[in-house]
């Protein structure tokens, strides 16, 4: 659910093989302003969960030959924040306990009343609203955590940080370029913290994660009734961070139809909410980031040339982790200190550090953080060794497999999928890069234990 979306409006998945219950639930929930997807079986439910995120799911315990219990972990894997309510005509204490063990948050016995459903939905909506508030606070707190990560011995990174400090005091638009996971968001938050707008809000929009309609609404806001599901006004991120900074992450994925509207705002600071003719103004500085070659996107007709010139007034180029290996030990230790909790782990063995340095790091800092966190949980010793790292690091002493080497297609496929997943922001993006559908990607992940 977008941050400015009303906490009363949820994305809800209904999974029940009885058509009357599906229809009744869907109509009741949509009447209350929620967005509902209703399916009859576990396979379609998994497919819908892979397409988009959901806040709540009503799942029948018995779905024909399928068991609704088995669907719970699959749904939670796609949307970890999702609340799952099991509905069944065969209720018992044992089955209720088992659903909770699997990850369900509530349990309704058929026949249930509209009042019972409404009570469950309102409770979930309140919890979701609190989670989003916490996420906002964590983003604010996170601005103070990026500073140690910005310490570097790499000349290219030093130049980028120095330029970021210089432009922070200005009002100019900044474009941060670099591969996924290189710390573009950290640099953007640092610019905000160093700027004259530090006391004003900073808001982040990830351009690839929303449909064009939702992205326009999230960016500019919408009026009540502007489209189906717009049950109340939404002020939009621009208005919400008036006086502050708007960070547009992966701006290369901004839909073409929204690019003229963003260009107009950058030039004139004027915009209209969806469904309104009233022109509004806002004092917002824009920082953008991308991992794609925007010049190539311009030549391909996917990105406006005038918008590119407008956002790249100042350009910061962040090197990938494989090009700043002198920083890797320090970064690994930093991530370990953030995740170790109370575990008495002193650090990494020299062999582990060497293995980390030999790896290519397609996911950059984000992947390094995940690897360190995994190693910390597995480590029962004083130091993290090579045996606590993922399997691809165990063979780090030997050259990485290349096309044409004496290695199986299966092994190459696994490494390629792992690399694409590490660099992608979502499963949809990874599937698009790999040229397969989401269901095939899910099967590959299960096969390789990814």
The phi, psi pair for 44, rounded to 5°, reads: -65, -35
Q: Torsions phi, psi of 280, nearest 5?
A: -120, 160
- pLDDT of 185 reads 92
Low-confidence ranges of the chain (pLDDT < 70): 1-8, 50, 78, 91-95, 131-149, 340-342, 394-405, 425, 449
Helix axes 427-434, 438-448, angle to 10 degrees: 100
CATH code at 177? 3.40.50.300
The SS3 of residue 224 is coil
The last residue of one of the domains, among 114, 137, 160, is: 137
**Residue 66 covered by a domain:** yes
Answer whether the bond into residue 367 is a cis peptide, omega within 30°.
no
Question: Do 193 and 91 lie in a common domain?
Answer: no
First vs last C-alpha separation in the chain: 26
Specify the pLDDT at position 404.
67
CA distance 27 to 330: 55
Domain count, the chain: 3
Clarify whether residues 93 and 207 are in a common domain: no
Q: What is the CATH number of the domain that holds 389?
A: 1.10.8.60
| 80: its two tokens | 């970890």
Looking at the DSSP assignment, which residues form a beta bridge with residue 234?
Answer: 222
- Label residue 254 exposed, middle or buried (CB < 10 Å: 0-12, 13-18, 19+): buried
Q: pLDDT at position 200, please?
A: 85
Is 306 among the domain residues? Answer: yes
Q: What is the CATH number of the domain that holds 88?
A: 3.40.50.2300
In a domain, 61, yes or no: yes
Q: Which residues contact 123 (CB under 8 A, 6 or more apart)?
A: none
Instruction: Look at residue 2 in the predicted model and tell me its pLDDT.
Output: 38
Report if residue 2 sits inside a domain: no
CB 341 within 8 A of CB 312: no
In-domain check, residue 82: yes
Assess whether 149 and 293 both reside in one domain. yes
In a domain, 5, yes or no: no
For residue 338, tell me if it sits in a domain: yes
Same domain, 171 and 210: yes
Q: Are residue 305 and residue 199 in the same domain, yes or no?
A: yes
59 and 84 together in one domain: yes
pLDDT of residue 8: 55
- Report d(CA 137, CA 148) in Å as an integer: 20
Contact between 251 and 26 (Cβ < 8 Å):
no
Instruction: List CB contacts of 260: < 8 A, sequence separation 6 or more.
Output: 304
Asked if the structure places residue 3 within a domain, the reply is no
- Do 291 and 183 share a structural domain? yes
What tokens appear for 380 in the block?
């029962």
Do 405 and 351 share a structural domain? yes
- Indicate whether this model's pTM tops 0.85: no
The verdict on 151 and 279 lying in the same domain is yes
Q: Which of 319, 346, 381 is the last residue of a domain?
A: 319
Q: Which helix (H) or strand (E) holds 302?
A: none
Environment class of 449 (CB within 10 Å of its CB; exposed 0-12, middle 13-18, buried 19+): exposed
Q: What was the pLDDT predicted at 449?
A: 64
Residues sharing a CB contact under 8 Å with residue 214, sequence separation 6 or more, in sequence order: 2
Q: Give the sign of the dihedral formed by CA 294, CA 299, CA 300, CA 303.
A: positive
**CA 167 to CA 26: how far, in whole Å?**
51
- Predicted local confidence at residue 1, as pLDDT: 39
> pLDDT tens for residues 403-430?
666 777 887 888 788 778 877 767 888 8
Distance CA 435, CA 443 (A): 14
User: What is the model's pLDDT at position 135?
Assistant: 53
CA–CA distance, 217 with 168 (Å, rounded to integer):
28
416: three-class secondary structure by DSSP: helix
Convert the pLDDT of each residue in 124-137 to its tens digit. Answer: 888 877 765 665 55
Same domain flag for 240 and 310:
yes
Helix (H) or strand (E) holding 100: helix 93-102
Residues 240 and 280 grouped into a single domain = yes
- Domain identity same for 150 and 270: yes
Q: 87, 115, 137: which is the final residue of a domain?
A: 137
State the residue range of the domain holding 165. Answer: 145-319
């Amino acid at each position: 659910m977008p941050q400015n979306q009303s906490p009363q409006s949820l994305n809800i998945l209904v999974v029940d093989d009885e058509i009357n219950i599906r229809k009744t639930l869907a109509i009741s929930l949509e009447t209350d302003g929620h967005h509902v997807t209703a399916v009859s079986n576990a396979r379609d439910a998994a497919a819908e969960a892979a397409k988009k995120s959901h806040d709540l799911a009503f799942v029948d315990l018995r779905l024909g030959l399928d068991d609704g219990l088995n669907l719970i972990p699959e749904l939670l894997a796609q949307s970890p924040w999702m609340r799952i309510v099991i509905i069944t005509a065969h209720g018992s204490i044992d089955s209720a306990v088992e659903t909770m063990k699997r990850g369900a948050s509530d349990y309704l016995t058929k026949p249930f009343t509209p009042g019972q459903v409404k009570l469950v939905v309102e409770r979930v909506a309140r919890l979701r609203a609190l989670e989003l508030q916490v996420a906002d606070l964590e983003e604010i707190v996170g601005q103070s955590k990026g500073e140690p990560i910005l310490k570097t011995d790499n000349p290219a990174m030093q130049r980028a940080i120095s330029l970021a400090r210089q432009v922070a005091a200005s009002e100019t638009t900044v474009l941060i370029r670099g591969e996924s996971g290189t710390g573009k968001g950290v640099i953007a938050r640092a610019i905000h913290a160093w700027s004259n707008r530090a006391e004003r809000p900073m808001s982040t929009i990830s351009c690839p994660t929303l449909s064009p309609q939702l992205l326009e609404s999230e960016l500019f806001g919408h009026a009540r009734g502007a489209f189906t599901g717009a049950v109340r006004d939404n002020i939009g991120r621009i208005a919400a961070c008036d006086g502050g900074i708007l960070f547009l992450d992966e701006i290369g994925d901004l839909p073409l139809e929204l690019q003229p509207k963003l260009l107009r705002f950058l030039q004139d600071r004027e915009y209209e909410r969806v469904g309104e003719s009233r022109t509004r103004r806002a004092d917002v500085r824009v920082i953008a980031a991308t991992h794609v070659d925007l010049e190539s996107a311009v030549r391909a007709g996917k990105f406006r040339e005038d918008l590119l010139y407008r956002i790249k007034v100042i350009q910061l180029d962040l090197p990938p982790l494989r090009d700043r290996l002198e920083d890797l030990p320090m970064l690994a230790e930093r991530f370990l200190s953030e995740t170790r909790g109370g575990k008495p782990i002193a650090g990494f063995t020299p062999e582990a550090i060497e293995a980390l340095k030999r790896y290519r790091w397609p996911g950059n800092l984000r992947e390094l953080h995940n690897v360190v966190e995994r190693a910390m949980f597995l480590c029962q010793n004083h130091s993290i060794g090579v045996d606590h790292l993922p399997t691809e690091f165990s063979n780090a002493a030997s050259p990485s497999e290349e096309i044409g080497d004496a290695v199986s297609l299966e092994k190459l496929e696994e490494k390629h999928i792992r690399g694409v997943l590490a660099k992608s922001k979502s499963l949809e993006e990874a599937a698009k890069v790999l040229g397969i559908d989401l269901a095939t990607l899910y099967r590959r992940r299960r096969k390789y234990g990814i």
